[in-house]
Amino acid sequence: MGKLSVSILSADLAHLADQVKLVEPYADAIHVDVMDGHFAPPITFGGVLVRSLRPCTPLVLHGHLMVDAPESQFDALAQAGMDVVSFHIEAVEDPAPVIRKARDAGMRVGMTVSPPTPVEALFPYLEELDDVMVMSVYPGWAGQRFMPEALPKLEAVRAELDRRGLSPDVQIDGGVKLENARRCIEAGATVLIAASAIYQAEDPAAVARELKAIAEGRA
């Protein structure tokens, strides 16, 4: 069953708990974009925000770590209540100990590729991962345009997972809208991540409902 992960990067952060409640009936996870001003230019969220958000929702909290040395954040994020972290392969020299460190901290773990990185870079680690994330925009901001080059990457990772009989989540992150969501699912994504499509809409709950239906193959 496909899932919807709602990114709070476009939410009205002064009313974060309410913004999360709006989408809760349709979302499986809240996607928290952690950026450090180095790996990605902005500085966004971290353990301090997660600590406030944790008691507001029963949804899975998924950290997308667009930071250098992601492992340095794991303990703080886990203690704050993060359930899953996905780190960028471009941000680490050797992923294997980083994967282990996330698990030791008590979290599930995934890896992700920025647009210039081939998805095949993740293949040596697929057995160890709870999710694989393909980025369809450059790390940094919500509201960028979907890069269709991500679709063959989804197909490639889907084919490799099927070949090996593995079933981690396959997430697509960046520029996901009602117009392209179905193509992402057809290409092999199991999780749609969306920020601006939902929070810039007049009726965020209605868009979340539709995206969830597309993820589940009902629309």
Shortest distance (Å) from residue 44 CB to ligand DX5: 9
- Please pick, from the candidates 28, 130, 169, 173, the single residue that binds Zn ion as defined by CB under 5 A: 173
> Residue 215, interface with ligand DX5 (CB under 6 A)?
no
Query: Which residue in 62, 64, 101, 108 binds Zn ion (CB under 5 A)?
Result: 64
Q: Can 203 be counted among the known catalytic residues?
A: no
Alpha helices in the chain (DSSP H): 16-23, 47-53, 74-80, 95-104, 150-164, 178-187, 196-199, 204-215
What residues have CB less than 8 Å from 119, skipping those under 6 apart? 113, 132, 134, 153, 154, 156, 157
Q: How far is the CB of 163 from Zn ion (least distance, A)?
A: 27
Contact mark string toward ligand DX5, 21..60, x via CB under 6 A: ----------x-x---------------------------
Closer residue to ligand DX5, CB minimum distance, 29 or 137: 137
**129: nearest Cα among 119, 139, 138:** 119
Identity of the amino acid at 180 = N
* Local structure of residue 134 (DSSP, 8 states): E
- Which candidate in 28, 33, 36, 131 is catalytic? 33
The reply on whether position 197 binds ligand DX5 by CB under 6 A is yes
Site size for Zn ion (CB under 5 A): 3
173 touching ligand DX5, by CB under 6 A: yes
Residue 197 partner contact from Zn ion, ligand DX5, none using kind-dependent CB cut-offs of 5 to 8 Å = ligand DX5
Q: Are the beta carbons of 67 and 38 closer than 8 angstroms?
A: yes
Q: Which of 175, 184, 191, 212 binds ligand DX5 (CB under 6 A)?
A: 175
100, HSE (Cβ side, Cα atoms, 13 Å)? 4
Q: Using CB under 5 A, which residues numbered 33 to 52 contact Zn ion?
A: 33
Active site residue 33: yes
Q: Which residue has the tokens 């809760």?
A: 24
By CB under 6 A, is residue 137 in contact with ligand DX5? yes
Residue from 3, 6, 10, 156 in contact with ligand DX5 (CB under 6 A) = 10
Q: Which two tokens stand for residue 38?
A: 């180095």
Gyration radius of the chain's alpha carbons = 16
CA angle 135, 186, 182 (to 5 degrees): 80
Residues making contact with Zn ion (CB under 5 A): 33, 64, 173
Q: Which residues are catalytic?
A: 33, 173
